[in-house]
Structures are given as C-alpha cells and as structure tokens.
Amino acid sequence: MGELMTINMGPQHPSTHGVLYLELKVDGEIVVDCKPHLGYLHRGIEKIAENRTYTQFIPYTDRLDYLASMNNNLCYCMAVEKLLNIAVPDRAQYLRVIVAELNRVISHLVAIGTFAQDLGAYATPLFYAFRDREKIVELFDSICGNRLTYNYVRIGGVSADIPAGTEQYIKDFIAYERKQLIDYNELLTYNVIFLARSKKIGILSKEVALNYSITGPMLRASGVKWDVRKDEPYGVYNKFDFDIPVGLNGDSWDRFKVKLEEIEQSLRIVEQAIGSIPEGNPVSKVNRVFRGTGEAYVRTENPRGELGFYLVAEGGVNPYRCKIRSPSFSNLGVLPELIRGLNISDAVCVLGSLDIVMGEIDR
C-alpha cells in the first residue's frame, strides 16, 4: 500500500446532491476510508417545531425532503391526527394518496435522471426526467399554488379541493408517462455502459441493510419485500392493488431498477384512486390553534424510505418535542461501508444510487 492521500469530495461537489462533504482517504484511485461530514444545511427544524403551533409547522416540513414535500406534509399531519384523534374526510384521504403517489413519481424521476447524470449520461436523461416532472409540478401548482413547497396536506384534510379537469389531466399524464417509462428502459436500463458502471457496484446485503435500518427502495433493492404502504397500511392504501418491486443483488443497478418499477406501481395506485374519489368536502375544518397531550409516532413510506414523526405534547399549543426520523439520514450512514475498496468514480455511482436529499439529513 502506498501513501494515503486525503481527498475532499464536496461540499460543493456536483454529484453529492446538495452540501455533503466526504473526506475520502484514497490509495491511488481506491477509496480506503470515507468520513461524511454533515450539517451544512442544519436549520434546527426540530427546535423551530417547539416554538410554532402545530399548524404553523406544516410549511417547515416542506423543506425537509424538498423533492417530496407532499409526502412530508402527509406524514406530519398524520402524526398530529394520531396525537389528537382527528378524523379525516374520505375525499381528503383519496386526494392525499393521489398527490403523495404523484410526488413519489416525480421524486423518483429526479433520482433516476440525476443518477444517470452521475454516471456520465450527460444531460439527456436528466432533461427527459425534468420534462416529465414539469407536468406534475404544474398540476401541483394548479392544485395548491406552489411548485416546490406545497403545504397542501393539512391537519384533518387538505387545503383545497382539486380544480375541475384535474382528473382528466392526471389520466392523460398516466398514459403519457407509461410511454416514457418504455423510453427510460430502452435508454438506460440495459444500456451496456450503464450496466458496466452500475452492476455489482456498492452491493448492500440484506443483513447489513436491516442492521443499518435502511428503508425504502434501497432496502427493497437488497431483496427485502417490505413496504409500509403494504405491510402496515395507513390512510386508504389498503384499498389499492399494487406490487412491491424487489431487487436481487442490492447493487446500484438494482436500486435504480426498483425506483423505475415503483414509478409504474405508483401510477397504478393513482389510476385506481382517481376512478373512485368519493364526493364530499375535503377541506380541513380543524381549528388553527389547539392543544394536545400524549405522544405519537407515525411513519409513512416516502420516496426515499420511511419518514417518521415522533411528537410529544404536554398540553401547550406547540409540540413539546418533535423528532423527525428521516430516511436519508439512516440510508447515508451505510455509505462508508459501501464505498470502501471501490474506485472514486464508483463512489460517485454509489452515492447517486442512494438518492439522498440533504434537506432532511441535516434538518
């Protein structure tokens, strides 16, 4: 072994997906050790929660995993609803499933596009993914008036009903996206260069994944058939029929493939939900300010894994403690083990396949 060199990857490295700083010890091209440094995006959101009312905190959850704001809103609101036993109208439950699954689709699209970009498929897959994503972003804009930070799911309902014509728009999108998925498959999945770069790179075994509390597509890529939507259904997920895609080897390619297949499953859920939305008023009728006691833990299946909110209430108008268990945080913890012994270029590939968002890691 030659002399070890320290390489600083990040915090402004284009493939670290945000402000992540990896301190790599390398022997030539081989990574010997990796030390992640977090905290560049630490805003103290858990402390902010203790100084805001329950309702005021919803917009802050948008800023955790900013690629999946709807899912964050949903999890937080479900935690408050569990704490205070608030009922949610049926129509709101269906709208929540629709927006959450559409958000999962566009989050996975970004993951796939940026992953391909990391592997050197310069710009084309990324632009294709963002072109499709734009359609849903515009839809969310028409539903709630925002393109990135939606603040749509509210405690006890949603902020507004969907405008007329939305159902047809979503049906058109599903038909369009199914055609695009064939395109992505042909462009990337079995592309020789793509396979050479991602197959057998960063293999994560089932046992290690469970021990590190890995969740989401990353866990399923390692061959564990586990999905909170299926195994511990929340909301109205038990009314829909969908499959859980799993991978075989747990390598970077499997993590990509699982995400691609999950897009199709999400489209299936949206298709079933859009045909059976009950009538009624989905808008929340809960007071803006209320008090609660007790504690509640709720977790939901976010695009990146299981997001959990642990709320402790002591009778005040603010939560006494709000712990956010973010999926990317736990998923990133395994990175040093995965990239030890790989080339630096493969470390970029593994990091891209983890699909992290620094907003929810640093909080």
Residues near another protein (CB under 8 A) are 5-8, 21, 23, 37-39, 42, 44, 46-47, 51, 208, 210-213, 226, 231-232, 294-295, 297, 299, 306, 308, 310, 312, 320-321, 323, 325, 329-330, 333-334, 362-363
At 175, list the tokens.
């038909």
Please tell me the distance from the alpha carbon of residue 228 to that of residue 299, in angstroms, as a whole number. 8
Please report how close the Cβ of residue 265 comes to another protein at its closest, in angstroms.
Answer: 21
Those residues with Cβ within 8 angstroms of residue 103's Cβ, 6 or more apart along the chain or in another chain: 68, 69, 70, 71, 136, 140, 303
Q: Assign residue 226 a region: left if phi > 0, alpha if psi is -120 to 50, beta otherwise?
A: beta
Please report how close the Cβ of residue 13 comes to another protein at its closest, in angstroms.
Answer: 12
Contact indicator for 279, 188 with CB cutoff of 8 Å: no
At 249, list the tokens.
């080897």
**Residue placing its CB nearer to another protein in the complex, 5 or 193:** 5
**Residue placing its CB nearer to another protein in the complex, 2 or 165:** 2
**Residue placing its CB nearer to another protein in the complex, 14 or 44:** 44
Please report how close the Cβ of residue 100 comes to another protein at its closest, in angstroms.
Answer: 21
Contact indicator for 174, 267 with CB cutoff of 8 Å: yes
Q: What phi and psi, each to the nearest 5 degrees, are found at residue 258?
A: -60, -40
CA distances from 345 to 91, 277, 313, 349, 351 (A): 48, 47, 47, 7, 10
Please report how close the Cβ of residue 212 comes to another protein at its closest, in angstroms.
Answer: 5
Place of tokens 């790989």: 342
CA 137 to mean position of chain CA atoms: 16
Please tell me the distance from the alpha carbon of residue 355 to that of residue 303, in angstroms, as a whole number. 9
At 358, list the tokens.
């620094």
**Residue placing its CB nearer to another protein in the complex, 16 or 330:** 330
**Residue placing its CB nearer to another protein in the complex, 7 or 148:** 7
Those residues with Cβ within 8 angstroms of residue 111's Cβ, 6 or more apart along the chain or in another chain: 259, 303, 355
Please report how close the Cβ of residue 336 comes to another protein at its closest, in angstroms.
Answer: 10
Q: What is the CA radius of gyration of the chain?
A: 20
**Residue placing its CB nearer to another protein in the complex, 158 or 311:** 311
Please report how close the Cβ of residue 139 comes to another protein at its closest, in angstroms.
Answer: 33
**Residue placing its CB nearer to another protein in the complex, 110 or 357:** 357
Please report how close the Cβ of residue 310 comes to another protein at its closest, in angstroms.
Answer: 6
Burial of 41 (0-12, 13-18, 19+ CB in 10 A): middle
DSSP H helices, 145-216, are: 166-184, 192-198, 206-211
**Residue placing its CB nearer to another protein in the complex, 22 or 58:** 22
Please report how close the Cβ of residue 294 comes to another protein at its closest, in angstroms.
Answer: 8
